[in-house]
Structure 1
């Protein structure tokens, strides 16, 4: 019993010291000015910051509101955005009720002595609290026990983007707030005033985007350890396409139109037409590489801008191939005329020799024989496949050769100058039709 009598005062002293250590700052505040915080000296009696309000009873209702100060960057390559927000949380703790109708703003360092919700940002990659010149936190205590806890946070949040319509796309991003450890039996998250709980987002001015609309949602996150409350701010960002029109679409269209200039240049101007074709192809290739280098990490996507650049490249390359076909047909036609002129000249010379011989010999009979002999030599090139003297395999070869010549004749361009004539009309017409389908699909579907 003696040991027990000595032990009891020692335990009592330890408890008192522990309470004084944990709430030492508040006790000093009471002793310095008790009139500024009426009844505050009784607030800390029996208070345990490790236990939530209404512990063992009903869940704590936590109302939240947001101010979006800025969205500094939106990265398509990393698929995230960086935003600075003011997060305000309100809840009621009956253990902190005091008399009067006043509210008091406390030193932010006192938050270490109070219970606060364990809210975190879902899908956050990097986050930090601002601490210049002091930690940007606010604690305000109301007489009915309501606590206002405000934070200034900069966070980088993942945003899954669909870039198939880039740069005519609209992205939907989210900012999600969830309780880390307390499930829905302990805390309930709610927006303070619905959609009006979010401010500042309609005033944002972004470099490439315009905020179309935003709305708030209340949801739950089902995990293995329980169901946790979650608040969602969802906003839609529409990309401004004017920059891309001036930077990519207009230059690529002008390059296609430049390639059509070669249709008005004659086929004999080989250096001029070749120079235009090769220059436009190389310029288009450089433009395509430049547009893809800005989104190097998203090249696995087939974007709308890639489709358009591919269309322009096809038309430019087609103009170069058109000249190659027209020039080849023209050279083939010139080559075909040359052999025909050769036998005609030889025939004229032979006829002159025959006439001279006839005059010298004065023989009409010999003149007729030589003429008939010449006509036989000329007609000997035209082989008649129906000749009875030909063998069977020679007839088969002859028939196949004639059919091949007919087939080739179908694809032979009789007048190469018509290729340029039709290209002047068909190339612009098809390009306009493709543009109509392209813009209609990506803007309205």
Structure 2
């Protein structure tokens, strides 16, 4: 029967595994919980034997002695994650490496009587006498092994020669932007572990199947959340000169830009509305319309450039860019509409002046011809001419109308088409079309962006 002290001790260790974020080692807790009442199962004499064995130089890799591939089993217990500046992330975790070295098997142990409870903590002065796994984080920007209150590097030696090498590390990584569900973004941070000193046929890295990697924590920032994580082999990896073993822990982080939505979207909406208000200014007010359109365009460009300061450097053409390009198109369309209407008005004015000049020239030529007519024209001809004028008047046609038709026919087809354009009607229709088109685009943009999420590659 277990005593009350043993039960309390085991329960304390059990809860420390699941609820403690700063435990010394997950593996050590699991090992101790599996022990019997006699935690200190090794006698002082036995520990002296192990200490004597550790004084021997066994710093060569195990495959030098066995001739077989040395397999290093990795595991991670994440304790803290911090997302920095929307481009980098810091990860603090316990890093476990487990491998077998038959040379370090207890001299007094046998395969049946000794188990996992007979572990021995290797003192730091013996680290140089044993071979320790030389894996590292390949894609780190910065990293450090914690040293509070001493260097957080621990080595446990089991009776069958199994070594457990643990470190507490903080590593900084650059995260790649994989997809955008604006105002959210999906970033992928990859921890790549490699052992570069030996080829894969000598030393290989594998994820531990018994003590699997664990990422139980989340971010303290409400705008950042853990989306998913996966422990895999390195894919499409050609960074190493030699064919060395590599593992990868991929962590997907979802970042929300909700706090910046008002600063991003509302100003650009107001700028587009200001561009629409320019349609209500008279076409003759050239200075006012040009100034308002130019101001709207400069404000949109300034807003787009200013917003990029708090976005990642590798922020590609995503919904953010689509939003600003769409808004800029509407502002430019307002400028284009006024330029078109103003150009048509100026052209029509010029054509009307030219038309009046042609009328005056024709009237002048008619007067000249009448003065040259023979003064001896008979009264009969005068009566006939009067009769023609009466007929034209009765039919509702005058000589001026005939002259107008002749003048218009002198122009080309394009000129006649432009002269028929009613700029006032164009202004009226464009006011309605501009507002309706912007509302439709808004509906499409938010419908697509709020229901679309690009999967990470």
Where on the TM-score scale, by shorter chain, does this alignment land: which range?
0.5 to 0.7
Aligned 8 A contact 1:118 1:182 in 2:
no
Scaled by the length of structure 2, the TM-score of the pair is 0.65
Shift of 1:286: 0.9
Tell me if structure 2 keeps the 8 A contact 1:71–1:206. no
Is 1:113 the counterpart of 2:129 in the alignment? yes
1:268 deviates by: 5.0
Match of 2:438 among 422, 431, 438: 431
1:244-393 mapped onto 2 (5 Å cutoff): 244-267=260-283, 273-294=289-310, 297-298=313-314, 301-330=316-345, 382=403
How much does 1:285 deviate?
A: 1.7
Q: 2:94: which partner in 1?
A: 86
What are the residue-to-residue correspondences of 1:194-209 with 2, within 5 Å?
A: 196-200=212-216, 202-206=217-221, 209=224
* Aligned counterpart, 1:52: 61
**Shift of residue 169, structure 1, vs aligned partner:** 4.4
CA contact (8 A) 2:180 2:453 kept: no
**Per-residue CA shift, 1:352-377, capped at 9, x if unaligned?**
xxxxxxxxxxxxx9xx99xx8xx9x9
Separation in 1, partners of 2:205, 2:157: 20
Query: What is the match of residue 215 of structure 1?
Result: 230
Q: State the Cα distance separating 1:144 from its structure 2 match.
A: 4.1
Deviation at 1:119, TM superposition (A): 0.8
Q: Is the 8 A contact 2:225 2:254 kept in 1?
A: yes
Query: Match of 2:251, SS?
Result: strand
Q: Is the 8 A contact 1:164 1:302 kept in 2?
A: no
Q: CA deviation at 1:118?
A: 0.9
CA RMSD of superposed structures (Å): 4.3
Alpha-carbon distance in 2 for matches of 1:384, 1:282: 47
Quote the offset at 1:222 in angstroms: 7.7
2 CA distance for matches of 1:384 and 1:197?
89
Q: What is the deviation of 1:261?
A: 2.1
> Where does structure 2 lack aligned partners over 5 or more consecutive residues?
1-41, 364-381
SS in 2 for 1:47: coil
TM-score (norm 1): 0.67
Q: Could you list the per-position Cα deviations for residues 125-147 of structure 1 after superposition, in whole angstroms to 9, with x for gaps in the alignment?
A: 33222234321222233444433
CA shift in 2, pair 1:318/1:36, >3 Å = same
Q: How does 1:169-184 map to 2 (within 5 A)?
A: 169-184=185-200
> In the TM superposition, what whole-angstrom CA distance separates every residue of 1:250-279 from its partner, at most 9, and x where no partner exists?
321232123212233444555654443233
Query: Any gaps of 5 or more consecutive residues in structure 1?
Result: 1-34, 348-364, 386-397
Q: Distance in 1 between matches of 2:125 and 2:174?
A: 31
Query: 1:431 Cα shift?
Result: 2.5
Q: For the Cα contact (< 8 Å) 1:108–1:135, is it kept in 2?
A: no
Q: Please give the residue correspondences for 1:216-255 in structure 2 after superposition, counting only pairs within 5 Å.
A: 216-218=231-233, 227-255=243-271
Once residues 138 and 120 of structure 1 are traced to their aligned partners in structure 2, the CA distance between those partners, rounded to angstroms, is 16
Q: 2:71 aligns with which of 52, 55, 61?
A: 61
CA distance in 1, matches of 2:211, 2:249: 9
The equivalent residue for 1:12 is none
Partners of 1:264 and 1:224 lie apart in 2 by 66
